[in-house]
Chains A and B, each alone.
Chain A
Amino acid sequence: MEAKKIAEGIWEIPRTAKEGMLVPARIYATDELFKEMDQGVFEQVTNVACLPGVQKYVLCMPDGHWGYGFPIGGVAAMDTKTGVISPGGIGFDINCGMRMLRTTLTEPEVKPRLRELVDRLFQTVPSGVGTKGFLRLNEAEFREVMVQGAQEMIRRGYGWPEDAERIENLGRIPGADPAKVSAKATSRGIHQLGTLGSGNHYLEIQVVYPGSIYDPDVARALGIDRELQVVVMFHCGSRGFGHQVATDYLETFGPAMKRYGISVRDRELACAPFASPEGQDYFKAMVCAANSAFANRQVITHRVREAFSDVFKRDARDLGLEIIYDVCHNIAKVERHRVNGEERELVIHRKGATRSFPPGHPELAERYRAIGQPVIIGGSMETGSYLLIGTAKAMEYSFGSTAHGSGRTMSRTAAKKKVHSRDVLQRMERQGIYVRTASFAGLAEEAGMAYKDISAVVDAVDTLGISKKVVRLQPIGNIKG
């Protein structure tokens, strides 16, 4: 499929490339990253461009790769009146996201206790297949989590009052309706709050090494204020609860499409008009799952604070364990954006893409309104991650969105054939990274060589201007789910 480079870092596939495309598709990537893009991205991004009500263009971020339905890294804006909502544009792991905490500790202080700290976190933040958390909620209490999100956990004592303003949407997206959630989804997820999950989910102890701060003023405003500072970053989502909500509605949308006369090029793009009863039911259930993901990351935050406090024998507040930010990267949200010079209400689907709102955006909490929204881009377990900041260019170019991670270049099955978990573990230990995992076999699947170069991805979004680099973080301790 032909894609034309229309400006530095921007490639466009015209509407004529595939029958049924309503808008062009754009891929944001450097020449090198574009060359590496797999064929699945081109096929999927143009399939999305055929969905009813899609606006302006469908986007794929530089970390894009072959997903199911949408490509991972996909962003699509649908008109709220004439457009659709598609679970395939959000992902099964609703509100999978990243959270980052700062500390006032430095690497020389943490290194001697690193194994103890990581071992302790490995115990208290359960990871892997079918694990349960420590919280035992009844169904009424879990429904409160669906509505109140992280704020419910803070109210229950698993957080500090100021935590909420450091989370996207204050950790509680309005519009949740637990009545739209199945009993199966509830029974699948009710005991999983505070768990990491598996696959590419992780919790890392990271260090800001000298030369890793690109914007000292913004870094300071975000709480990164000393050399060799230690931070904590983790990646997880709504666990079985969100997975079941998505599965349930994927089934509901098949017959709904027949009723509304919608056909799609991939069954995984099943959708319903956003304004229809089916579309609204899914949106309300999806918000329940998104709020439970915020609550999940809040409980993990509580466990991280406890672990640091136990290991360093100091109060978590004294250790400065504040949230820097929490972002969603699998979500649909109703937002206002300009299309052809006119401000419109749109359903922005971000599947493996992060919101990147600029300074002054009215949806940002007071704390970050002056500097813009922090953006967390997590790399592979071997290579490090980045903290960035949202920009006005993102509003102009990408419906206020940017990349979310490094993006896979190799399937899990292929990675396991190329490298052995033992070698990955030894290499990471040589680099000074202490690893604990619930799945030794799964380490090979997450090897750095199975991913794109995170720095290349971040440089691509920074050069294009849809978010700006602030700090690079490198891991010294890793819990792989």
Chain B
Amino acid sequence: MSYRFLEEIAIADVAFEAEGRTLAEVFEAAALALTEVMVELDGVSPTLSRLISLRAEDLETLLFRWLAELIYLKDAACLLFRRFEITIREGTECELEATAWGDQINYETMSLKVDVKAVTYHLFSLTKIPHGWRAQVILDI
């Protein structure tokens, strides 16, 4: 599982590429990349957990909804997450069941960076590669 930020696309915003051997891994890598845009991961202690269940008609839409849900929880519940246990089921409908561990946003203990407004569909992709999956995502800052 890995991710890297891309310099040459989406000048106003932040682009990243995430990879994993499995779907669960690429979803986890994308979630960590998203969180790292907003905070230094080391400062987020995994003290609170949330169960997240999502459905979508395809895997790309499921990834979009997964990242959008984490962005929503950042504002609505003031939560940032750093550890994830994810299960993904593919069928006529795709399903995600996840437990996310993290903590309430705290300016004393966390090193906060830049806020993410949304996940965009611009150049958004989730593709099968020889040894797993790769996602490309542009976040609106």
| A and B: interacting chains | yes
A contact residues vs B (CB 8 Å cutoff): 38, 40, 65-69, 72, 88, 91-93, 128-132, 184, 187-189, 192, 197-200, 239-240, 243-244, 246-247, 250-251, 254, 266-268, 270, 408-414, 417, 438-439, 441-442, 445, 481
Q: Is the CB of A92 within 8 A of B140?
A: yes
A268 with B122, Cβ < 8 A, contacts A199-B141, A439-B113 known: yes
Q: A92-B140, A412-B14 are in contact. Are A199 and B78 (CB under 8 A)?
A: no
> Is A247's CB under 8 angstroms from B121's CB?
no
Could you list which residues of chain B lie within 8 angstroms of chain A, going by C-beta atoms? 5-15, 38-39, 61, 64-65, 68, 71-72, 74-76, 78, 80, 105, 107, 111-115, 117-124, 138, 140-141
Cβ-defined contact, B13 with A184, below 8 A:
no
Q: In whole Å, how far is A289's beta carbon from the nearest beta carbon of chain B?
A: 12
- CB neighbours (8 Å) of B65 from chain A are 251
A92 adjacent to B117 (CB under 8 Å): yes
CA distance A146 to B47 in the complex (A): 36
Bound complex: CA A192 to CA B75 (Å): 9
**Which of A38, A192, A240, A254 is in CB contact (< 8 Å) with B11?**
A38
A438 proximity list for chain B (CB < 8 A):
107, 112
**A280-B8 Cα distance, complex, nearest whole Å:** 36
Select which of B11, B74, B121, B140 is within 8 A of A40 by beta carbon. Answer: B11
Given contacts A38-B11, A409-B11, A411-B15, contact A270 B75 (CB under 8 A): no
Q: How far, in angstroms, from A38 to B11 measured CA to CA in the complex?
A: 9
Assuming A128-B107, A130-B105, A439-B113, is B12 touching A65 (CB within 8 A)? yes
Q: Chain A residues with Cβ under 8 A from B39's Cβ?
A: 129
Assess the A412–B76 pair: CB atoms within 8 A: no
Q: A267-B121, A268-B121, A442-B113 are known contacts. Are A412 and B72 too (CB-CB below 8 A)?
A: no
B11–A243 CB distance below 8 A:
no
B117 near A243 (CB under 8 angstroms)?
Answer: yes
Q: Which residues of B contact A130 (CB under 8 A)?
A: 74-75, 78, 80, 105, 112, 115
* B-chain residues with CB within 8 Å of residue A442 when the two chains form the complex: 113-114
- B140→A198 contact, CB < 8 A: no
Contact present for B72 and A184 (CB under 8 Å): yes
How far, in whole Å, are A197 and B75 apart by their CA atoms in the complex?
Answer: 11
A72 near B12 with CB under 8 A, answer yes
Nearest Cβ in chain A — how far from B76, in angstroms?
5
User: Shortest CB–CB separation between residue A281 and chain B, in angstroms?
Assistant: 19
Are A188 and B113 CB-contacts (below 8 A) given A268-B122, A411-B15?
Answer: no
Query: Which residues does chain A contribute within 8 Å of B118, judged by CB atoms?
Result: 92, 243, 246-247
- Which chain A positions have C-beta within 8 A of B68? 247
Chain B residues closer than 8 Å to A72, beta-carbon distance? 12
Nearest chain A CB to B141 CB, angstrom units: 4
Q: Is the CB of A266 within 8 A of B122?
A: yes
10 further A-B contacts with Cβ under 8 Å, apart from A130-B80, A411-B8, are A38-B11, A66-B11, A66-B12, A128-B115, A198-B141, A410-B11, A411-B13, A412-B14, A439-B114, A441-B113
B121 — nearest CB in chain A belongs to which residue?
A267
Contacting residues, chain A, for B123 (C-beta < 8 A): 266
Which of A66, A184, A199 lies in contact with B10, CB distance below 8 A?
A66
Q: Is the CB–CB distance between B117 and A188 below 8 Å?
A: no
Pairwise interchain contact A69-B122, C-beta atoms closer than 8 A: yes
- Interface-centre pick from B6, B75, B121, B138 (highest chain A CB count, 10 A): B75
Residue of B whose beta carbon sits closest to that of A198: B115
Q: Which residue of B lies closest to A241 (CB)?
A: B75
A-B CB contact pairs (8 Å), 13 listed: A68-B121, A68-B138, A93-B117, A132-B78, A188-B72, A198-B114, A240-B72, A243-B140, A270-B121, A408-B12, A411-B7, A411-B10, A441-B114
Contact B115 A199 (CB under 8 A): yes
Q: Shortest beta-carbon distance, B75 to chain A, in Å?
A: 4
Chain B minimum-CB-distance residue to A242:
B117
Measured CB to CB, the nearest residue on chain A to B4 is A413
How near does chain B come to A394, taking the closest CB pair, in angstroms?
24
CB-nearest residue of chain B relative to A197?
Answer: B115
Whether the pair B122, A188 counts as a contact (CB closer than 8 A) is no
Complex Cα gap A200–B121 (Å): 21
Q: List residues of chain A with CB within 8 A of the CB of B64.
A: 251
Q: Are A187 and B76 in contact (CB under 8 A)?
A: yes
B contact residues around A199 at 8 Å (CB): 114-115, 117, 141
User: Contacting B112 at CB < 8 Å: which of A128, A188, A246?
Assistant: A128
